Amino acid sequence: MNELLSLQGTIFLLMLAGLVLKKVGIVGEQGQKNMTDLVLNLILPCNIIRSFQIEFSWETMHSFGTILIVSICIQLGCMVLGKLLFGRMPRNKWKCLYYGTVCSNAGFLGNPIAEGVFGSQGLALASIYLIPQRIVMWSSGISVFSGSRDVKALVRKVLTHPCIIACEIGIFLMLTQLPLPGMVQSTVNSLAACNTALSMMVVGMILADLKLREMVDVPVMVYSAVRLILIPVLVLIPCRLLGLDEMVTGVSVLLAAMPAGATTSILAAKYDADAGFATKMIIMSTLASVITTPIWSFILA
């Protein structure tokens, strides 16, 4: 419990640091974008590779297979949920709500939290869990906004994503138990150690743009409740009923309880959907997750 409280306190202070840096102008919009790209394309892949450097066992592979199946079921369920709950919304808003229901911020925010609560094995499980979401993000997620069905572009986007490549490298290293050369290992460890700090600071920068009066939007509040409460509850119940491994259940529920991802507003702006509404979704759900994530962590740890 003390470790969990310390983790949540650290995460809060890192977010606060990011918020202050953005508010006082030390980091601007371009700086925030550059930090986001740095985390997604270098820091997080190194973090993923390090997470797979654990002793191989068939029990571990069984856990990986289980959480992969759970994640696929969650993605399919979220697709249905997004259509059922928000299908009557205006088209430009529905695109944002559907994408935000199917694709959360689990890849950016969930990894450091999974590692903090469950350790390196939890991070490895989180990396496997995120594979289906990354595929959906670049397939049906993109097609919702753009209407494009370009299969070749989808396959290329998925296979060349740095986090997918990192998973492949990490699984290879785990199966073969091959060590990385000393300098390479030290570099990977150093970069991986930056993940939580940089990730949480970027989230704080997003929160710096919050204007509370503009956030009072009923559909956004409903979406936040669905994303942060309803979806993880719908994941927790069958996992408990099926008697799945505690860590598999914990990581699955925790990552299912993540807020809307920043790509929601990026894609909304690119494809002329309601980018302002998407930004509200991100900020409100991220702000609310400051309260809900510690609660889920306490429940699952």
> Residue 255 and residue 122: Cα distance in Å, rounded?
11
| pLDDT (0 to 100) of residue 105 | 83
Pick from 47, 66, 86, 27: which is nearest to 204 by CA?
27
CATH assignment, 2-198+214-294: 1.20.1530.20
| pLDDT (0 to 100) of residue 154 | 67
Main-chain dihedrals φ then ψ at residue 104, nearest 5 degrees: -95, -170
Main-chain dihedrals φ then ψ at residue 210, nearest 5 degrees: -65, 130
Q: Which residues of the chain have pLDDT under 50?
A: none
Q: Indicate the average pLDDT of the chain.
A: 84
> Residue 184 and residue 190: Cα distance in Å, rounded?
10
| pLDDT (0 to 100) of residue 286 | 82
Phi-psi category of residue 90: left, alpha or beta, with phi > 0 → left and psi -120 to 50 → alpha = beta
> Residue 287 and residue 283: Cα distance in Å, rounded?
6
- For residue 67, what are its two tokens? 């959480």
Phi-psi category of residue 140: left, alpha or beta, with phi > 0 → left and psi -120 to 50 → alpha = alpha
| pLDDT (0 to 100) of residue 8 | 67
| pLDDT (0 to 100) of residue 5 | 65
140: helix, coil or strand?
helix
- For residue 57, what are its two tokens? 């066992």
Beta bridge partners of 260: 104
| pLDDT (0 to 100) of residue 4 | 61
